[in-house]
Amino acid sequence: MRELGITYEEVYDLLHQACTTISPDVLYLMRNAVEQESYPEAKVFLQTMIDNVAQATEKDKPVCQSPGYPTVWIRFGEAFDMDPLLSYLPKALTEATKAGLIRPSIVHPLTRHNPGDSTGEGVPNIELQHVSGQEYVEIIMSAKGCGAELGNVSKILTPATLGKNYSGLKRLVLDTVINAGGFPCPPSAIGIGLGGQMDVSAKLSREAISTRSWLDHNPDPLLDQLEQELLEDINQLGIGPAGIGGKTTTLAVKIAGAATHTAICPVTINFHCWVARRFGVRIYPDGKREMLFQVKE
């Protein structure tokens, strides 16, 4: 088995950067949004959000007080030894918590006991994916705010409720966005998981919005069209930043699909707050690093 060649310091540095700025693609979308927003209060909030990111980076502080729930996606093709990386991740999370970069917010689900250092069963959530033939290893760290989670919906549609021209799905998305209002820290983004069973659609919904660039296009033409259409429709609703009215409600819609059973169409709608704290890196066999989510200007 080959060595991946990543050090603990490098892992900690990635996490540090993820806490003190937001993903470059999302910052690009926020800057566009403030230009296009016409509601005065919405414009003030959007500008405050952009200023807040700049101040966080400058002062080496976390962008948002809410650390969200930490998930790391690791996609690997060749047989690298993942064990060192897997042992660094919880350690980096605990160290960053002690350093005041991450608020200790991980608790036992029933007793609500907070160990105070972001440790706990299953934390961080690590999603290991083997991608056959992929020469590089891709690591994406993501902290998605949990206020956003309160608006999430899972529903099992049927062929009848999916409706003609997927109208049942579209209605469900619009209703979910309206019901969520300001909870998910809009301008939000939305991941939609389609297919599988409930658990599959739920995982796909989080993966879609957390691992794809918010500027990319879906390689599936049908899903790409649906993403564009839903984004346009949602932004006509006038919910706006913080849910107090405005043109900017959602920055991106990302859909991931899987085949399902003939009787059902599971759907999960997963909100992402605008504070998209994530950092991704690809490590090539020759040791070269490539940062993800960069914007080509």
Partner 1 sequence: MAIYELTIPLQDTDIEQLNVGDAVYLTGTVCTARDMAHLNMRELVDNHHPLPENLQGGVIFHAGPVMVKDAQDHWQLRVIGPTTSIRMEPHAEFIGQQGIKLIIGKGGMAEGSLAAFKKHKQAYLQAAPGCAVVLAEGVSKVKAVHWLENGMPEAMWVMETERFGPFIVTMDCKGNSRYDTVKAHAKEKADAIMKEKS
Q: Which of residues 1-40 bind partner 1 (CB under 8 A)?
A: 40
Does residue 243 bind partner 1 (CB under 8 A)?
A: yes
CB of 197 to partner 1, least distance (A): 27
Does residue 242 bind partner 1 (CB under 8 A)?
A: yes
Q: Which of residues 193-232 bind partner 1 (CB under 8 A)?
A: none
Does residue 132 bind partner 1 (CB under 8 A)?
A: no
Q: Are strands 188-196 and 80-81 parallel, antiparallel or unpaired?
A: unpaired
Q: Which of residues 166-185 bind partner 1 (CB under 8 A)?
A: 167, 170-171, 174-175, 177-178, 181-183, 185
Binder among 5, 10, 105, 153 for partner 1 (CB under 8 A): 105
What track of x and - describes contact with partner 1 for positions 58 through 97 (by CB under 8 A)? -x-xxxxxx-------------------------------
Query: What are the residues binding partner 1 (CB under 8 A)?
Result: 40-41, 44-45, 48-49, 51-52, 55-56, 59, 61-66, 100, 102-105, 107, 112-114, 116, 145, 147, 150, 164-165, 167, 170-171, 174-175, 177-178, 181-183, 185-186, 233, 236-245, 273-275
